[in-house]
Amino acid sequence: MKPIMIGSIKLIFFSLLLALCTAITAFGQSARLQLDHLDRLNAIADQSVDVTVDQKVLNLAKIFLAKTKDPEQQKVRELIGEIEGIYVKHFKFESAGQYSLSDIESIRTQLNGPGWSRMAGVRSKRNKQNLDVYTMIQGSKIGGLAVIAAEEKELTVVNIIGPIDLEKLMSLEGSFSIPSLEIERIKEKTQKE
């Protein structure tokens, strides 16, 4: 073979390999959001909470919860069965305007990516509250959940990675420090609109 033809074959092969890798990356996109840019708010916030529950911690929790006979704790074990990670960032500020809309927009930009869809949005001008709930659909399952709750003096971002059963999640709202997201009310409200 001529050297030019071998070079062309290598170029075509490399292009096909690159296209395949890109397709695999898009198909298997992670539901994990990049939230590191919010770390700068730790210095500004009056109170901050940063929760990272990765696969290792979840596996330990499953072992611990396997021995319980408490029905509420068994519900938690079922809920976290296939979850790969839970990440929460919560900031409470002394006064309004200490975080910027660009902090939230950078997260929303990620949520506008492939696979994510907005499940619900609640806006309250009176209480100056905004709540957005997003899900990442992978095939016929929910592969991730993201919640952005923005108020004048508080900002909370929750990111759950892995298969999520919303019915089980709703049954645990308000228990075990799981915030009441009022998902049922949000679902009913969006269905009426």
What DSSP state is assigned to residue 39?
G
CA neighbor of 92 nearest in space, from 133, 53, 149? 149
Whose tokens are 């210095």? That residue is 43
**Each residue's pLDDT tens digit, 141-161:** 788 999 999 999 999 999 999
Q: How many CA atoms lie within 13 A of 155 on its CB side?
A: 26
User: Which residues are CB-contacts of 189 (< 8 A; sequence separation ≥ 6)?
Assistant: 120, 122
Cβ-contact 176, 80 below 8 angstroms: no
**Each residue's pLDDT tens digit, 28-79:** 458 899 999 999 999 999 999 998 888 888 888 888 788 778 887 777 777 7
Q: Domain ranges in the chain?
A: 1-29, 31-192
